[in-house]
Structure 1
């Protein structure tokens, strides 16, 4: 029996444009962009797509905790506003998606809401150690 190849996890860390409020950016990303982008991603075989919103109000307290409570003074909390994550069977699927003319139009709109001059990619294989701890049992 053949073993399935692990999915590729691809994170894109995005900063919002300075010309848009955080609430407006989050609303656009999760309610406007997602409605347009989702069907296109499905067409190109993207297995899963998530968005992680990183509100400004979370960053300061976490930076403080790292330095004072967690003993990690040199660690950072980046100022990304959104991390969008794709699970792919192949990098070819992402290549096909991002070369579609409809995707190019979506990216034109994204350029008005996001600061595309900076960002960050993370790519690799996700290893799930546990999932679905519904009873909350632990330490």
Structure 2
């Protein structure tokens, strides 16, 4: 498993597609009202730094695709419903979260909602270069 050898927070992302029998809106509602309601206390217990849900409504993606097609015809456009972003002090924190019974409880309905085989997981570091309108982390 990945380790954080540089002692900086680790960012994990996972893309999720909903199962086709659910609308995008119902899927996001399930994520927030059912899954996160149970998961947030587990995140707090184990020291998760932050959790963001990047919601990608189909209508917005279609509009973007139509606008960008003449400019970048070779580009493909994501069809997932959301990207989950976790920031943790180390990957060990994610191990701790995933082994917590509360986390398992938060996932109890996941197979009914999430098209698991389409999920895409990534790990790395998030490095800002513009914060509050100011350039940061650039060579002097």
TM-score computed with the length of structure 2 as normaliser: 0.83
Aligned position for 2:51 = 49
Name the CA distance, whole Å, in 2 between partners of 1:75 and 1:88: 32
1:102-133 superposed Cα distances (whole Å, 9 cap, x missing partner) = 22222221221111122111211111111223
* Contiguous gaps of at least 5 residues in structure 2: 1-5, 134-140
Name the CA distance, whole Å, in 1 between partners of 2:116 and 2:59: 23
Q: Supply the RMSD in Å over aligned alpha carbons.
A: 1.8
The count of corresponding residues between Structure 1 and Structure 2 is 129
1:35-79 superposed Cα distances (whole Å, 9 cap, x missing partner) = 1111101111111001011100011122223321xx322222211
TM-score computed with the length of structure 1 as normaliser: 0.84
Instruction: Report 1:1-139 matches (<5 A).
Output: 5-68=7-70, 71-133=71-133
SS at 2:85's partner residue?
A: strand
Name the CA distance, whole Å, in 1 between partners of 2:101 and 2:43: 13
4+ residue stretches of structure 1 with deviation over 3 A?
A: none
Name the CA distance, whole Å, in 2 between partners of 1:41 and 1:77: 31
**Further displaced range: 41-50 or 4-13:** 4-13
SS at 2:84's partner residue?
A: strand
**Further displaced range: 40-49 or 25-34:** 25-34
